[in-house]
Structure 1
C-alpha cells in the first residue's frame, strides 16, 4: 500500500518571512509523524528561502520515521547529504527565480555525471531518487544512473486547465509508472497533489509514496497539522480497500 510522506517546506516559508523562530518546521514534522506520515521531506535550496541547514541537521537526528532530502546536484548539497545521512536524497532541478519546482530533472544525456555524483551517496547507504517527468527516455536514464527510486512530477496533471488535459496528463503518468516498474524502479509521485485530485490514482498500482506538502500545510493553517495529515492518510488508506 502506498504511504504519505509530508513536505514541511512551507512551514519554514512562513518562518522565513520574518527570519524568526516560528512556526517551527521541526515541530510540524513531528506532528505529521504522530498523525501518520511515514516520512518527512525538505528541499534545501541554494538560496535557503525556506528550509535552512539547521533544519536539516535537527531533522536528520530526531525524526522517528525517515528524512527525504530534496536538493540540486551540486557539490555543496552532496557534502550536506553526506554529513546528515538522510534516508533518501531526491535530486531535483532548481532555478533561483522559480516560485516552486517547475518540471522534472533532465537526466538523459547526464547519466555519467549523475552516476558519479550519486556514487558516494550510495556508498554511504543513502537511497536516491530522481524527480523526473513520466517520459520513457528519462526513466531509462534514471535506471542507468543507478537510482533505486524515481519521483514522477505530477505538476502538469495538477495544473491542467480542463478535464481532457488532466486526463491526458494522468494517462502519461500511469504509463510512466508501469514502465518504471517494468525496470524494477520504485515509484513515488509528487507536486500539486491535493485532497481532491489524488483520488484519480485510487486504482493505480505500483505507487510507493505520495509526496505532498503545499496542500497539507495550507489545510493545516485552518484545521491544524494533525487533522490535515490524518485526513490525507485516511484518503490513501481507502485506496487499499
Structure 2
C-alpha cells in the first residue's frame, strides 16, 4: 500500500488568519494519525505565513507515525531539521515569496550543493527526498546526490488528468518511476493530488511509496469531514 502523509499547512493558515490557536494544529496532527493517516507533512517557510518554526518543534512530540518536513535548505531550515531529526526531510527549491512550490530541482546543476546538504542530513539519521519534475535526467541526477528518495511534482499530471488526457497525463511519471526503480531510488509524489485523481495515479506508478497531500484533502474535508476523507484516501491507496 502507498502511504498517505497529510500536509497540515492549510490548518496553520486558517489558524493564523485569526490569531489564537483555533484550529489547534497539534490536535489536528493527533487526529489525522488517529483517523489512520500514516504521516504528517509540514512545509515551514521563512516568513512563517502558515507553519511556524515553533510548530515544527512542537509537533515532534506528537507525531508517532512519519514526520516529513519540506522546505528549501537555507541555513535556518537546515538548523531546524537537524534539531528535530524528523523521519524524512524533503528538499524543495521554492523561492521565499512563492505562494506554493512550482518546480523541482535541477539535480544536475545543483548536484554539489545537494550532495553537501544531503550528506549532513543522512549523517544525522534523517531520510532524504528531493522534489523533482518528471524528467528522467533529473531522476538520474538525483541518484548522484546520495538522496534516498525523490518526490515527483505532480501538478502537470493533475491538470492533464482533469482535462481528460488519460494515459498521456501519467506517462511521464510512469517513465520516471521505471527509471527510479531501476536505480534503487524510492518514490514519493505530491502536489494537486486529490480524491479525483489519486487512485489512477497510484495504479500507474510502479513502486510508489508515499504521497503527501494537503490542499485538496483539507478542502475536501470541509465538505465531508476529516476522518471520512483520510479514510477515503487510504482506501484508494490500497
Tell me, yes or no, whether TM beats 0.5: yes
Q: Give, in whole Å, the separation in 2 of the partners of 1:46 and 1:229.
A: 29
Deviation at 1:169, TM superposition (A): 3.4
TM-score by length of 2: 0.94
1:159 Cα deviation from its structure 2 partner: 2.1
Q: Please list the CA deviations of residues 104-148 of structure 1 after superposition, one character each: whole Å capped at 9, or x if unmatched.
A: 122221111111122221111000000101111111111111000
Distance 2:180 2:83 in 1: 30
Aligned equivalents of 2:52 and 2:181: distance in 1?
A: 34
**Change in CA separation of 1:117 and 1:202 when aligned onto 2, cut-off 3 Å:** closer
Over the aligned positions, Cα root-mean-square deviation in angstroms equals 1.4
Structure 1: which 5+ runs fail to align? none
Assess if the C-alpha contact under 8 Å between 1:28 and 1:225 holds in 2: no
Please name the residue that 1:104 is paired with: 104
After TM superposition, give the deviation of residue 52 of structure 1 in Å. 0.5
Distance 2:179 2:173 in 1: 10
**More divergent stretch after superposition (227-236 vs 188-197):** 227-236
Contact 2:29–2:62 at 8 Å: present in 1 too?
no
Q: Which residue of 2 aligns with 1:72?
A: 72
Counterparts of 2:232 and 2:163 in 1: how far apart (Å)?
26
Shift of residue 202, structure 1, vs aligned partner: 4.3
Matched residue SS, 2:139 = helix
CA positional deviation for 1:22: 1.2
Alignment match, 1:196: 196
**Which residue of structure 1 aligns with residue 225 of structure 2?**
224
Q: For each residue in 1:41-76, what CA deviation from the matched residue of structure 2 results, as whole angstroms up to 9, or x when unmatched?
A: 000111111000111111112212021000102111
| 8 Å contact from structure 1 (residues 103, 155) kept in 2 | no
Match of residue 54 from structure 2: 54
Q: Is the 8 A contact 2:2 2:202 kept in 1?
A: no
8 A contact 2:187–2:210 mirrored in 1: yes
2:208 is matched with which residue? 207
For residues 33 and 43 of structure 1, the distance between their equivalents in structure 2, rounded to whole angstroms, comes to 18
Deviation at 1:230, TM superposition (A): 1.2
1:90 aligned to 2:90? yes
Q: Deviations over 1:191-227 (max 9, x none)?
A: 1000011121243321001111111111222232211
Mark the runs of 5 or more structure 2 residues left unpaired by the alignment.
Answer: none
The CA deviation string for residues 1-24 of structure 1, in whole angstroms up to 9 with x for no partner, is: 211111111011111112321112
Query: 1:114 maps to which residue?
Result: 114
TM-score (norm 1): 0.93
Is the Cα–Cα contact under 8 Å of residues 94 and 103 in structure 2 kept in the other structure? Answer: no
In 1, Cα distance between the equivalents of 2:116 and 2:64?
A: 31
Distance across 2 between alignment mates of 1:216 and 1:131: 20
| Partner secondary structure for residue 86 of structure 2 | coil
